[in-house]
Amino acid sequence: MAISKFGSTDEAIAGGAVDGLVFEALAQAPFAALLFGTDADLTLLWRNQAHAVMSDSAGRAVQHLPLFEAFPPSDDGEGAAAKAAIEHSVQRIKESRAAESLGPYRYDLRDHSGAYVEHHWEMNMCPVKQGGDVVAILQVAKDVTRDVLAARLSDSLKRTAQSTAAVSYFSYDRETDVFIRSPEVDAMFGFAEGEAGPNAQSFFARVHADDLPGVYEEVERVFKAPTGEIASFDYRVPLPDDGERFLRIRAEVATDPDDRREKLVGTFVDLTDLEENRQSLTRALELQKALVSEANHRIKNSLAIATAMLRLEQNELQRRETIDPAEAAAALASAGARIRAISDAHGLMQMDQHRTSVFLKSLVERLATYARQSAGISDDELSLTLPASDIALDSDTAITLGMILNEIVTNALKYGVERDTGTDIRLSVDLSDAEFTVVLENTKATDRRALDIPSTKLGSMLVAQLTDNLNGEIQSEETADAYRTKLTIPMSYIDGRR
């Protein structure tokens, strides 16, 4: 400060230099100060260096210019609103002779290129009086652009969080139980608008009974914790409609600037969708493990059946004094066909939430298709009639039934395939409430084509044993020109009710 020419501070005051000191103080102050007249143009009389820097107008000759010519408002509505607010404030100050505060208002300033740059201001307007009249106004301005933009960004983030992540905000006063929150919180707890009231107790009452003690403990802990400690708890909320929500709170204790009371402030996050998806995935994983275990069990059983059939073929051949290589090869081919029947059933297995199953029609169609291909006959020569409805067989039943059908169809091929003329084999399947029936008829071939199908007792033994496993009955009839086989099994053994 330029005090030296007055000597000491006391001398300066004694010499009537206080006004000069005030002027020097304003000129050198770090805050922006502007002095303008109260005439119609609000003529700019003086400004300090801080104002020149803040308004990015250092070096510009603005003194004696009308205020809004030196700093013209932008053409948009906000610039006009700020200009009007200043003019109205000047008029009130002239009438009341009292200071006023304005803002924040948006009043953009031009940069060196002439383009407007966004600015927000808070202003204190003080009257300067001479002879009882207000002759000038001292304006002290603060650029609050950063604060306004930061608040705007924060509001945007809050709105975005609320709209995209089901986040809702709250403030809780533990002493008064007053619970200030966004409307979404009431909806999370299943309350209609206005139903819950201003206090938190009704919300605590809806927390799951098993989770409520933990909620109270966490609230108590965070109020005793050092400043900045985060409260974190997840809990369930049973709803009146028998639904359930899964909520998460993240909050900390802060002092309310209005009443200086400590309050828990933070957010609710609705995790219901995520939790339901997690539970669904957990159930799916458990089901998958169970089904894999069941599939492994079925495969183990099927391999045991295949091994037993091979041993039976082996024992049959070993009982003979001599083994014809052709017979041995045919026996292996027969065993292969039986294993293929098991494989077909496995290939058709489907896993659902309850069991591993095979649809009946698919199983019969696959066996018929393989039989036609192996014998080289057409669809007409081995015709297939299926019921209108279908049924899912459990995997064990499907394997057993597949092996039975393989044996009786193989037998029909053995005696019913003509060498040159058309073959006539008819396979029909029927379902009723009481029983499952398969009828296989074939006309005896008058000029039978020899197929690589062995004549052993093993096939008949298998059919008898497997049919008995399903509590079924098999009947065979022979006429002069045809064979007929009928398989009957109670539906309780087919649909899994046994």
Res. 133: pLDDT tops 60: yes
pLDDT score at 8: 45
Q: Which domains does the chain have, with CATH numbers?
A: 31-148 (3.30.450.20), 166-270 (3.30.450.20), 322-494 (3.30.565.10)
At 223-281, the pLDDT tens digits run 999 888 888 889 999 998 888 999 999 989 988 878 888 999 888 888 888 888 888 88
37 versus 164: the higher-pLDDT residue is 37
For the ranges 14-18, 115-119, 174-178, 263-267, the lowest mean pLDDT is seen at 14-18
Residue 157: Cβ within 10 Å count: 11
Quick: pLDDT tens for 380-409.
888 999 999 998 888 888 888 888 888 888
CA distance 415 to 447: 10
Q: Which of these ranges, 56-60, 438-442, 444-448, has the smallest mean pLDDT?
A: 444-448
- Under 8 Å between Cβ of 8 and 109: no
Number of residues that this document lists for the chain = 498
Taking 70 as the threshold, does the pLDDT of residue 445 lie above it? no
Q: Check residue 306 and give its pLDDT.
A: 66
Q: How many helices (H) and strands (E) does the chain have?
A: 15, 20
Name the token pair of 62.
Answer: 């603005």
**Kind and range of the H or E run holding 356:** strand 356-359
Tell me 4's DSSP state: G
**Rounded average pLDDT over 88-110:** 93
- pLDDT higher than 90, residue 44: yes
- Which pLDDT score, from 0 to 100, does residue 4 have? 37
With vertex at residue 31, the alpha carbon angle to CA 29 and CA 37, rounded to the nearest 5 degrees, is 90
Segment 326-349, tens digit of pLDDT = 666 666 666 666 676 666 666 666
Q: Which residues pair with 203 in a beta bridge?
A: none
How far apart, in Å, are the Cα atoms of 191 and each of 200, 207, 362, 466? 12, 13, 53, 63
Residue 496: partners with Cβ closer than 8 Å, 6 or more residues away: 355, 393, 394, 397
Ordered DSSP codes for 101-157 = EEEEEE--EE-TTS-EE--EEEEEEEEEEETTEEEEEEEEEEE-HHHHHHHHHHHHH
Q: What is the dihedral of CA 323, 324, 325, 327, to 10 degrees?
A: -100
